[in-house]
Structure 1
Amino acid sequence: MKAIWEVESSPVHRAIWERGVGLEAFDSAAMELPASVRAVMERSLAVVRRYKENRSLYGTDGSVTQEVVADLAAAGYWGLRASPAYGGYGANFQALMPFLTEMVLIAPPVAALMACQAYIGPIGLLEAFGTPEQKERLLPPLATGRRLGAFAVTEPGTSSDWGAIRTLARPDGDRLLVSGEKLFITNAGPGRTIGLLCLIDRRHEMVLIELPENEDERFRTVTYGLKALAHMKNVGLVFDNLPVPAANVLHSPRGDGRAIAYHALNCGRTAVCAGSAGLLRMIAGSLIPWVQQRRTFGAPIGARELVQRRLGWLAGRIVACDAMIAWVARLLDEGYRGEFESVTAKIFGSESVKDATVDVLLKTHGGRALLEGNLFTEMLSDLLAPTVYEGENEIVTLGYFQSLARVHGEHYLAPIAAAMKEGEGATAKPPGASNLWAAGRHVAAYGAWLVGEEVHHALGRFRHRLTADPVELAGVALELLGDMALEISAALRHFGASVAQRQALVFDLARRAQWATVMLVVSRYAEWQRDPLVRQAGICAALEFGARLTDSRPTGEAYQLLTELGCAVGEDRFALVTGADRGVVAMA
């Protein structure tokens, strides 16, 4: 029996390699929000609304003002994730992720501050890996907002390649002397608390650092003209023998500091999807008055099928993001590793925003999208940047494939290759009888697995049955996930260890697994929705991915569902965008 945090326990991994996972593994759980938590959320939203209405949310430097930070601290905002024992409210991910979406609709930078503080940053790190002593000492200033947090991994010479990290923490008695440089660190600066991935005695470790209130020869920041995120501090950090308590090193029972960083990234990637759900709502809100007022050939453009199709697609992506957030948050709260799930959520959400920005926002507003004050012009960098946050999407997808294929390759194919290998290069010789016998046993085991998979594939009950029934759509998606096993195994068998260099093939396989996952999750989510338009939006999203994965064309029914949904969005009848700003329509 695998532990819940191991890769093999992932619902995605099991759906592909075991064929024994049930549809319920892809459900999100309904939860009652504690009154104390909801009260903090309502107070925090009210604070930000007030400052936004007064146009005083940002200071002269363009960042969220200290007055806003202080009022949010009084509301309890900064301690939502922290345990009550340390001054917080103990909200879990299932509560926090939808709230992040709510906050994005009012002020994306304030939502991003919480992500840096509690999801990928020091509160989340301490709650997951901190000792009682570390929590007692370091959490209260964070929970009360006296300190804000950041996550520091990227360096000038490395981003995804953590083997190239050069920041060192040299042991010196009961302290560490930190030297090195970090780059692109959001929400960092004097007086902040950061989680720093560095090397201690050549071992990757995660160290919490309470940065000094003032810069000096041991600590300074580097500024640069970064466009995204707007209204957020983002600096480089330079250390030169900065003293840090050795007691601030976090330890994971499942690896070194990289395991801690991966956990943080999984939480952060889920937050990116939650932010994407908010940004998609913002885009929809900005379009509604435009499609109602803009007229061509005697009718509003919202009456045109082309525009309705765009708005229907947008509604489907909103519901799919909501579904992914709810599902991944449940898994994280239950203790799952969440690697495949959070990567899929992050990529899906950020790519949806990117596509919506260009194919819906820009094309529907036309040339007016380039006018000053339009959402496209004012937020272009912020709308596109999430595709490279927490790892550029295609690079992260390659890593997704490696994790997905590793166990199968080690169990079946690596033993065959090892048994057939005797000597290397000039010393290589034909394998001996014992090697052939061992290889034969492994080949037989692999052959039995292949036959079983082929039988499962042939007996698929929902094969290519793309109807408007979310139950059947979920069944199709689960079969499509299971069918990925044969394709991935064939790639491993054909290319062996060099499959990692076949990046185009690897990316395509992993991307289709991600699409099937989203299709399955949103189908299950749609099945339980009481709002008929939300249900319809989930079905439209599932049909879109089903058509892609089965290389089929959308049916007439799919087009009708999509355009009817888009009509409802254009007429402002889609409840999920009710809270989004309608903005100003610049007719020019």
Structure 2
Amino acid sequence: MTDQGRAWMTDDYAALATTAAAVLAVEASPHVDRWREQHHMDREFWLRLGELGLLCCGVPAQWGGGGGTVVHDYVVLDALVRAGISPASMQVHNVVVPHYITSYGTDEQKRRWLPRMAAGDAIGALAMTEPDTGSDVQAIRTRARRDGDSYVISGAKTFITNGSVADVIIVAATTDPALRGRGIGLFVVETAQCQGFSVDRVLKKLGQHESDTAELSFDEVRVAAANRLGEEGAGFAMLMGQLPAERLLVAVTATAAIERAVELATRYANERHAFGKPLIAQQHVKFELAECATHARVARVFLDSCIAKLLAGELDETTVSMAKWWFAELEGQVVDRCLQLFGGYGYMDEFPIARLYAAARAQRIYGGSSEIMKEVIGRTLVDPARGATA
């Protein structure tokens, strides 16, 4: 993470970026190919990151975390992308799951789960998406039936990052389907020796192979009422409340990927010779890289603005929706143009640019598709006085 012109990039963030880069070069990069084959990172890697303080940096120190802000976690994610590692697993574990628990959990719940997550001893996942529901969260069918001091959960989830390796899963389920969003609750399922919980299969994805993505089943899974986050029926509001920080994850990792792609392509264009001279000597190549480098610079300025707003508590839904949509689309465009400069080598999985290309495609889908983001933005542009209808 370069720090040119960044008011938010304090010495603390800069030091963390340096540390994360050094740690990943030793603890992660040599193992990436194997992780991609097995579709998940080693448990020892999680424990090592926990030992070195690179997990749950934004969780308060009293609950075992780093005592920083969510931006500390963003810095670690940026470093992962630059080290050639898909950040998806860490996005969920470092940002998504712990911030639900810190925001909505009781002190007892925080004591139970957060220190283990920060240590890498418990991996987190969020089970929201279902086979028949994607962006329409209010239509989820997984049912949580109250039974005395417990809830009994039944249903199926899909596209769950960390699903096959998670120890702590936040499950979105409805206590009353007729209430739609007002009937959704969030329940923490601890998978160890959990009767009725199963991993149906680990899905084969286009990219991001270092992280597992799984289908999960809950067959009469019984969890204590004490495992519910917040009030019954408040789950949808909680899900919506966490979206700004979660959607900004895409902007953070997209910017890192864009800058990484430009760096890789520029280096290759200077080293590779064609027709008796370096590729960079070709005017078309220079122009392509000039445009991509400019896109990268503009993206960085927009991201810095969003991070500054987030830290000030001023990041609104419209702005973060613009960021999520724009960064995801730009990442795909820039990485594609950079890959083209590699010729046939760009299509080989062993080249980092090919992995960036495959990983980028999902950014336009998860966390709210590009179409949903434009719908959110568009609603703010409608003049109520004109009586526009959907």
TM-score (norm 1): 0.59
Q: Does 1:369 align with 2:346?
A: yes
Alignment of 1:174-573 (within 5 A): 174-189=149-164, 191-201=166-176, 202=179, 203-214=182-193, 216=195, 218-223=196-201, 224-251=203-230, 256-336=234-314, 338-362=316-340, 364-371=341-348, 373-402=350-379, 404-405=380-381, 408-409=383-384, 413=385, 493=386, 496-498=387-389, 500=390
Corresponding residue for residue 49 of structure 1 = 25
- Measured after TM superposition, the shift of residue 401 of structure 1 is 1.6
Higher deviation after alignment, 294-303 or 169-178: 294-303
> Residue 53 of structure 2 is aligned with which of 76, 95, 100?
76
Seq. identity, %:
25
> Residue 101 of structure 1 is aligned with which of 70, 78, 87?
78
Corresponding residue for residue 105 of structure 2 = 130
Matched letter for residue 73 of structure 2: L
- Measured after TM superposition, the shift of residue 86 of structure 1 is 0.7
Higher deviation after alignment, 257-266 or 233-242: 257-266
Corresponding residue for residue 92 of structure 2 = 116
SS of match in other structure, 1:128: helix
- Measured after TM superposition, the shift of residue 310 of structure 1 is 1.7
Distance 1:127-1:215 versus aligned 2 partners, 3 A rule? closer
Query: Residue by residue, what CA displacement relative to the aligned partner does 1:397-440 show, whole Å, maximum 9, x if unpaired?
Result: 113322x147x52xxx2xxxxxxxxxxxxxxxxxxxxxxxxxxx
Distance 1:196 1:62 in 2: 22
Matched letter for residue 199 of structure 2: T
Highest CA radius of gyration, 1 or 2? 1
Corresponding residue for residue 8 of structure 2 = 30
Distance 1:146-1:55 versus aligned 2 partners, 3 A rule? closer
Distance 1:165 1:184 in 2: 14
Q: CA RMSD in A?
A: 2.7
- Measured after TM superposition, the shift of residue 118 of structure 1 is 2.7
- Measured after TM superposition, the shift of residue 327 of structure 1 is 2.2
Say which structure is richer in helix: 1
Distance 1:260 1:51 in 2: 35
Matched letter for residue 196 of structure 1: V
SS of match in other structure, 1:369: helix
Distance 1:323-1:98 versus aligned 2 partners, 3 A rule? farther
Are the counterparts in 1 of residues 266 and 289 from structure 2 also a CA contact under 8 Å? Answer: no
Q: Does 1:162 align with 2:137?
A: yes
Distance 1:32 1:252 in 2: 37
Matched letter for residue 388 of structure 1: I
Gaps of 5+ in 2: none
- Measured after TM superposition, the shift of residue 160 of structure 1 is 0.7
Distance 1:204-1:140 versus aligned 2 partners, 3 A rule? farther
Say which structure is richer in strand: 2
Q: Number of aligned pairs? A: 380
Corresponding residue for residue 152 of structure 1 = 127
Distance 2:192 2:165 in 1: 5
Query: Residue by residue, what CA displacement relative to the aligned partner does 1:124-181 show, whole Å, maximum 9, x if unpaired?
Result: 1122222333323332222222111122211000101123211111111222111111
SS of match in other structure, 1:159: coil
Gaps of 5+ in 1: 1-26, 414-492, 501-588
Matched letter for residue 378 of structure 2: F
Distance 2:376 2:71 in 1: 26
- Measured after TM superposition, the shift of residue 210 of structure 1 is 3.3
Matched letter for residue 171 of structure 1: R
Higher relative contact order (CA 8 A, sep 6+): 1
